Each structure stands twice: as C-alpha cells, then as structure tokens.
Chains A and B, each alone.
Chain A
Amino acid sequence: MSLSPAAGIGFKPQHFDDVMRCHADGLWLEVHPENYMVDGGPRLAMLDALAERFPLSLHGVSLSLAAAALPDAVHLQRLRRLIDRVQPALVSEHMAWSTWAGRYVPDLLPFPRTHEALAHLVRNVVHTQERLGRRVSLENPSHYLVLDGHDWSETDFLAELVRRSGCGLLLDINNVYVSSHNLGADPVAYLDAFPLRAVTEIHLAGHAADDTDPTLLIDSHDAPIMDAVWSLYRHVVSRGTSLPTLIERDGDVPAFANLLAERGRAQTLLETVGMAA
C-alpha cells in the first residue's frame, strides 16, 4: 500500500480494537519493527491484521547506522522478513548509534558530524538499503549535548548523506524544536536549510523539561504536541511540503480518541495549508 500525504498515528497495542474500528480517511500507522521481530504468536497476528487494513510504516530504533561498524546482519535479516511480510509504505531509522561492541544501549546516541562519520554512515545506509531491497529514510536527532569536532552543519550533513547514499529523510519537527532550544539555535533557520525534497515523512510529538535541569528539553513523547511545534509544522507545510505526518506518543499514552483528535489537526493542516501552498 502506498501512502497519500495524510496523517498517521504511532500504533500502541492497547489501541488495537479502536484502531480496527476506525475509518478515518487516509489513516496510516507506524510501529517499531523491533517489537514485532518474533517467530510467531499474537503480536505478529495483530500486525498482520493492521497491515491488511492500513498502510504501515516501520520505524526502527536499533540499527545503529551511525556506528563505526556495519549494522547487525541478523537484525537486518529480521527486518527484511518483516518488510516482506507486511509490505510497509515507509521504512525509516535514526541518524544515531545504539549498538556498539556487542552492547545495545536503548537510546539514540550522538556523534561528531565528521567526514569520517559521514563515510561510515553512508556505507551503513547503502548496505542497509541493499539488504532490505529498498530505500530507507533517516530521522534528524534530538540533541542535548554540545559536541566538539563537527565538520558539517547538520542540514548539510544530511543533504550530503542523501546525495551519496540515495536515502530519504524523516523530518522530526519536535526534534528540531528540542535541539534548537537545547543548543541555542534557530529552528526556522534549520528548517529552511533542511533538504526538504528528500523528506518522505514528518514526525510530530510532545516534549518535556528535564527533571534535574529544567532549562533542557527532552524529546519525551509523553505529552500532546506543543503549540510551538505545531507552528513550525505549519511553516513547513505552507512551503509546499505536504507529506505523510505521524503523531508519535510513547509515554502517558491517552485514549485512542485523543490521538485521533491530534491527528485530525495535522490532517486539517495538510488539507488546507498544504493544498493552498
């Protein structure tokens, strides 16, 4: 199934019955493939049922594409099997690393954007696309740390990654907001420099202030999308970038109806502002 530029929702198993009853026009769903890399059982049956009714997006969190090593071969095989099984409209991952020296750190870790890091990333993305037999899109990260040693701005780095690997991009607007806040940058300038033509999907999510240092924002996905993020989204859409847009929610997950209402807001923006642009 292909994806029209409509709004989707991050799927949570507790919403399964509501989702299957939902007939919202253009609704699509995103899942983390790691949760469905099983041999069988009810989880896979649930994903099969979703795939029959809705376009799916597989959004990986653990391929560790920004590591100085190729992604795990077994993990890639499992991902390939899942792709063959549910035929997702979109496949994406993060511009981050998480697996290193046999250890999996369940987080999306940063790195200095050096020429060397770009070479590793390009190699890993090309390898992944070959193994999966399709293009993947990479998501711009949330930043908390000021790292030394960058050779590239992030937007130039992403543009060059696209040019060399042929990958797509996933523009997470909440990450842009959080990173700009934490690093003292201008989110609008970042968006204006972003290689929008390579973007295949947009993410919207909520964030929160850090408990110990409230001057830092955390990409927590545990709250409704903030107005500041909505206005950046409107900025992107009004520039003619009408793209599949996901409402992400991972913590304090509300009733499905609440997420559907947030999704409706994105859908309306796509239909009104996007069409007019």
Chain B
Amino acid sequence: MSALARFQDDFADALYDERAFAPVDQAAFAIYRNTAMRACLDALEANYPAVVCLVGRDWFRAAAALHASQSPPRDGRLFTYGDDFPDFIGTFPPASDMPYLGDVARLDRLWVESLVAADASVLDAATMTTLGPDGIAALRLRVHPATRTFAAASPAVTIWQASRAGVAVGADLVWQPEYAIVTRGHLEVGVAAVEAPVLRFLEAIAEGVSLADAALSTVAIHPDARIDLILASLLNAGAFAT
C-alpha cells in the first residue's frame, strides 16, 4: 500500500473514532472532525425538515450525529444523504413514544426524491378526452418520473403536512393508516393525502397494466372505488407523463 493511501486510511478512521494517529494530538484535528460532522448534520436537517420540526433542532442533531457516525455519507451529493435515516429514526429507542416518526421521515425522503427526479411533460385531462372510451380503457399510462406513492400505518400524512406548514397537529387527529401521492406536476413538489384505492390504482398503472385492468384490480380490493374520480384527481395532480 502506498504511503498516501496509508495516510488516508489513518486520517479517515481518526475522524470517526479515537485512535493513534500523530495529527490527532493537535487541537486542529478537531476542526476536521467538527466540519465533517456539521456538514452531515446540516445535510440530514435539510433532507428531513418535517422530522426536525417534530422533535426540535437540538434533539434532531443529537440523533442525527449517532446516525452519521454509524452511516457516514457515500456520495458527494449530500441531498442524497440519509436514505437509511427513516429506518434509523423509526427504530430509535428514544423516539419510541413517536411511532409515526419513521413514517414522517419516509415522506420527507420521497419529497426529495420527487424534487430531483427526471423531467417529463405532464399528461393532462384534455389529452385524455380526445380518446374514446375504448381507447381510454386500453391505455397504458406512464407514471411521471417524479411521482411517488406513500402508505403508512400511522396518520403520518396529516402529521407531515402540519409540520411542513409549521402548525400544531389538531386535537382531532385520528390514529389510522394514511396514504399520499407525491407529484411534481409543475416544478413544485406536492403531497396530497389520498384514500387507499387511489394508491392501489396508481400502483397497478405503474406495473404497466392497462387502465381497464388497473380499474379491475382496484375494484377487486375496494368495491366502492370511483375510478372516474380517482383518474381525474391523479391527472389533476400531474401523476402521469405523456
């Protein structure tokens, strides 16, 4: 191994835990430790704003520091950092009284994924109406690259939306599963709470089946689903690409 490679091994190891390496004895070594850790925490804070809002900045950064030392960045694009943070925070013992936290973090993550996803023209309702009913039934729609689906056993969508808006969750919060679709119709990421059939329908379309088959598979599970309304709402949200 080259001398430079050995130096880098020692230096990188010493950044994350105490070990014998001559420069560590200088007070200045802490500057590198602190700068690297601060950048990790800043990135996690930027990537998980709803979680920050729920737990407070100090608590968040303390938890994030633990995560950063266990799971340091691997990519120079720090907006991608923390893909395993939702799992970490969802099973973090001090957060056990916030069983929705991992779900909220997952929704933060999907928001970033949608933000940076590829561009594509949004399919609008007007284009659809030029097709006859048979044409529509056979259509295989392309889900927009920035569209994401979200399902949680907790009311994480309501909690996430309140956090992003900077308001308290209402006392009328019902503990029940919640669903959302994340879309980026017009350069702005939107999160819309939806009912379970909407998610089923969109996921069926994403699997590549025709609208008719997607409708059938949705109604098989949710007999009361209004496919016409669901399709209209998805088109309106910009969930599909041309």
Interface string of A38-71 (1 = CB under 8 A from B): 1111111100000000000000011100011100
Q: Which of B28-57 contact A (CB under 8 A)?
A: 28-32, 35-36, 39-40, 43
**In the complex, which residues 100-151 of chain A have their Cβ closer than 8 Å to any Cβ of chain B?**
100-107, 109, 111-112, 114, 116-117, 120, 144-149
Find B78's partner among A34, A75, A148, A212 (CB 8 Å cutoff). A34
Q: In the complex, are the beta carbons of B15 and A145 less than 8 A apart?
A: no
Q: How far is the CA of A43 from the CA of B112 in the complex (A)?
A: 11
Question: Is A35 an interface residue, CB under 8 A from the partner?
Answer: yes
Segment 64-116 of A: residues with Cβ below 8 Å from B: 67-69, 72, 75, 97-107, 109, 111-112, 114, 116
> Among residues 21 to 48 in chain A, which have CB atoms less than 8 Å away from a CB atom of chain B?
34-35, 37-45
* Residue B5, interface by CB 8 Å: yes
Inter-chain contact A41/B15, CB cutoff 8 Å: no
A62 to B79, CA, bound (A): 13
Docked complex: B156-215 residues within 8 A CB-CB of A: 184, 187-188
Query: Which residues, 193 to 241 on A, are CB-close (under 8 Å) to B?
Result: 210, 212-213, 216, 218
A96: shortest Cβ distance to chain B, in Å?
11
A155 lies within 8 A of chain B by Cβ: no
The chain B residues found within 8 Å of chain A, CB to CB, are: 2-5, 7-9, 11-12, 15, 22-23, 26-32, 35-36, 39-40, 43, 72-79, 114-120, 145-146, 184, 187-188
Q: Are A144 and B28 in contact (CB under 8 A)?
A: yes
Q: Is the CB of A106 within 8 A of B4?
A: no
Is A182's beta carbon under 8 Å from chain B? yes
Interface size on A, residues (CB 8 A): 49
Contacts of B39 in A (CB 8 A): 106-107
Given contacts A34-B76, A75-B76, A106-B36, whether A100 and B115 have CB atoms under 8 Å apart is no
Residues of B within 8 Å of A212, CB to CB, are: 27, 30
Task: Kindly state the separation between the CA atoms of A40 and B145 in the bound complex, as whole angstroms.
Answer: 9
Nearest to A44 among chain B residues (CB) is: B119
Given A104-B76, A147-B23, A216-B28: A117 touches B116 (CB 8 Å cut-off)? no
7 closest A-B pairs by beta carbon, nearest first, are A62-B76, A40-B119, A106-B39, A144-B28, A38-B116, A39-B118, A68-B5
- Asked if B187 contacts A109 (CB within 8 A), the reply is no
Residues of A within 8 A of B8 (CB): 67-68, 97, 100-101, 109, 111
Task: Note all chain A residues with C-beta closer than 8 A to B27.
Answer: 212-213, 216
Report the separation of the CA atoms of residues A14 and B30 in the bound assembly, to the nearest whole angstrom.
31
Q: Which residues of A lie under 8 Å from residue B184 when comparing CB positions?
A: 41
Q: A40-B117, A41-B184 are in contact. Are A100 and B145 (CB under 8 A)?
A: no
Q: With a 10 A CB-CB cut-off, give which of A106, A112, A116 has the most chain B CB atoms.
A: A106
Enumerate chain B residues within 8 angstroms of A37, measured Cβ to Cβ.
Answer: 77
Q: Quick one: given A67-B8, A145-B28, are A104 and B117 in contact (CB under 8 Å)? A: no
B188 touches A42 (CB 8 A): yes
| Minimal beta-carbon separation of A21 from chain B (angstroms) | 20
**Alpha-carbon distance between A108 and B37 when the two chains are bound, in angstroms:** 13
| Complex contact B187–A41 (CB within 8 A) | yes
Smallest Cβ distance from A221 to chain B, in angstroms? 11
- The reply to whether A41 and B2 form a contact with Cβ atoms under 8 Å apart is no
Residue among A34, A61, A72, A104 with the highest chain B CB neighbour number at 10 A: A104
CA distance A38 to B77 in the complex (A): 9
A sample of 23 inter-chain contacts (CB < 8 A) reads A34-B76, A35-B77, A39-B117, A40-B120, A40-B146, A43-B115, A45-B187, A99-B76, A100-B12, A106-B36, A106-B40, A106-B76, A107-B32, A109-B8, A111-B4, A112-B3, A144-B29, A144-B32, A146-B26, A149-B3, A212-B30, A216-B27, A216-B31
Beyond A41-B146, A107-B36, A111-B8, 18 extra complex contacts between A and B, CB < 8 Å: A34-B78, A37-B77, A39-B116, A40-B116, A40-B145, A40-B146, A42-B187, A101-B8, A103-B12, A103-B73, A105-B36, A106-B76, A109-B12, A111-B4, A116-B4, A120-B4, A213-B30, A216-B27
Which residue of chain A lies nearest to B187 when distances are taken between CB atoms in the complex? A42
CA distance in complex: A44, B117 (Å): 10
- Determine whether the beta carbon of A148 is less than 8 Å from that of B75: no
In the complex, what residues of B have CB within 8 A of residue A42's CB? 115, 187-188
Instruction: Give bound CA distance, A102 to B212, whole Å.
Output: 47
Q: Compute how far the CA of A81 lies from the CA of B11 in the bound complex, rounded to whole angstroms.
A: 32
Do A105 and B15 have beta carbons less than 8 Å apart?
yes
Give A65 to B74 CA distance when docked, in angstroms.
Answer: 16
Q: How far is the CA of A144 from the CA of B2 in the complex (A)?
A: 24
In the complex, what residues of B have CB within 8 A of residue A182's CB?
A: 28
Q: How far is the CA of A212 from the CA of B32 in the complex (A)?
A: 13
For residue B146, which residues in chain A have a CB less than 8 angstroms away from its CB?
Answer: 40-41
- Min CB distance A254 to B, Å, is 18
Known: A40-B116, A41-B117, A103-B12. A98 touches B4 (CB 8 A): no
